[in-house]
């Protein structure tokens, strides 16, 4: 017997077994699906596994699960703390209102005179009045004298008659102090230039303070209308401005030029008000002193000289 003839029936049976189809069992598939879904962890007590096991169709089961979860979320309520319960029972003690009430009566702010009266003190009779006045600032003295003059108009005439001439020594002391600060800020090294931009940056703050002091003090004297004192101040301040450093960069000399210009303007203002009261001797004295200043700021000083020659 040949080999292929002997094994033909066996191969035929194997082929027939492979060709036979296994019948589809939907129950097995559904049970497998239910077992997988039954293992989903449930975080709420209201969800029960029996509802999930009774679902037959996969889509219906998914819909029922989502509806159950949504219903349980809606049933959840936040627990209130004991403090919150007490607040809800008794209510708020203070109303939460961030704007003033409409019916509040508005009050006017106190006048300046009333404010001054509240801060005043009564000096004892054995206390020296001059010693007490020395402790006051210039603004306090001005306010005190102004209040007395407003209450007693006759006193103003006596003050005008006995008004003293302004003393510029204190003004000179302030200018001298600021002028020294400029040179203190410069380097003491002889090998380093004292007029280059680096040196200017070291003293620029002191220069601005010096300029501000010179200009403001002159304006205050002009407001006092003491014209002879204004002229004396111009000559005094000019010598300090002249002794300030001359910098290598022309733009850095702006503060120096502004001081010269301001002093020249207040000098011209004083001469215009003193023209009728100047005698020949005083006029010649001013002319000679102004000629010494012409080299520093020629244009404005020449205007003052021409005015004196008229």
**pLDDT digits over 68-121, tens only?**
656 655 555 556 677 777 777 776 666 656 666 555 566 666 565 555 544 677
- Indicate if the pLDDT at residue 129 is higher than 90: no
Can you say whether residue 243 is alpha, beta or left, with left for phi > 0 and alpha for psi between -120 and 50 degrees? alpha
Q: Is pLDDT larger for residue 200 or for residue 26?
A: 200
Report pLDDT for 60.
58
Q: Is pLDDT larger for residue 83 or for residue 212?
A: 212
Mean pLDDT of the chain: 76
- Indicate if the pLDDT at residue 8 is higher than 70: no
Six-digit token string for 154: 């006759």
% of the chain beyond a pLDDT of 90 = 34
Report pLDDT for 45.
47
Contact 216, 171 (CB under 8 A): no
Tallying the residues shown for the chain, one arrives at: 310
User: Among 71-85, 148-162, 238-252, which stretch is predicted with the lowest mean pLDDT?
Assistant: 71-85
Contact 271, 308 (CB under 8 A): yes
- Indicate if the pLDDT at residue 235 is higher than 80: yes
What number is the average pLDDT over the span 201-222? Answer: 95
Report pLDDT for 63.
64
What number is the average pLDDT over the span 11-40? Answer: 50
Six-digit token string for 307: 């005015």
Domains and CATH numbers, the chain: 3-75 (no CATH), 129-163 (no CATH), 169-309 (1.20.58.1590)
Which is it for the CA torsion 282, 284, 290, 292, positive or negative?
Answer: negative
**pLDDT digits over 265-282, tens only?**
999 999 999 888 888 888
- Calpha distance 206→185 (Å, rounded): 8
Report pLDDT for 31.
47
**pLDDT digits over 288-298, tens only?**
999 999 888 88
**pLDDT digits over 40-59, tens only?**
554 444 444 454 444 445 55
Q: Is pLDDT larger for residue 125 or for residue 291?
A: 291
Report pLDDT for 52.
44
Instruction: Name the range with the highest mean pLDDT among 35-44, 113-122, 255-264.
Output: 255-264
């Amino acid at each position: 017997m040949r080999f292929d003839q002997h094994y033909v029936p066996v191969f035929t049976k194997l082929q027939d077994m492979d060709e036979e189809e296994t019948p589809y069992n939907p129950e097995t598939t559904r049970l497998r699906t239910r077992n997988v879904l039954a293992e989903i962890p449930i975080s709420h007590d209201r969800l029960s596994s029996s509802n999930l096991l009774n679902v037959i169709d996969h889509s219906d089961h998914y819909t029922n699960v989502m509806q159950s979860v949504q219903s349980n979320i809606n049933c959840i309520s936040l627990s209130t703390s004991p403090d919150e319960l007490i607040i809800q029972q008794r209510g708020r003690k203070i109303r939460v209102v961030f704007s003033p009430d409409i019916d509040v009566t508005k009050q006017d702010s106190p006048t300046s005179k009333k404010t001054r009266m509240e801060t005043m003190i009564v000096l004892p009779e054995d206390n020296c009045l001059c010693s007490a006045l020395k402790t006051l600032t210039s603004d306090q003295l001005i306010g005190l004298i102004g209040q007395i003059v407003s209450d007693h108009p006759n006193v103003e005439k006596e003050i005008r008659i006995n008004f003293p001439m302004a003393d510029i020594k204190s003004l000179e002391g302030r200018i001298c102090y600021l002028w020294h600060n400029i040179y203190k800020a410069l380097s003491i090294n002889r090998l380093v230039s004292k007029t280059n931009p680096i040196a200017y940056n070291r003293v620029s703050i002191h220069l601005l303070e010096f300029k501000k002091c010179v200009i403001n003090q002159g304006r205050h004297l002009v407001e006092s209308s003491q014209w002879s004192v204004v002229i004396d101040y111009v000559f005094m301040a000019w010598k300090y401005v002249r002794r300030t450093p001359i910098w290598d960069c022309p733009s850095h000399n702006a503060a120096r030029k502004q001081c010269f210009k301001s002093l020249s303007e207040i000098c011209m203002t004083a001469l215009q008000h003193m023209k009728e009261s100047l005698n020949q001797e005083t006029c010649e004295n001013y002319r000679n002193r102004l000629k010494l200043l012409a080299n520093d700021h020629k244009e404005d000083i020449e205007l003052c000289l021409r005015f004196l020659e008229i």
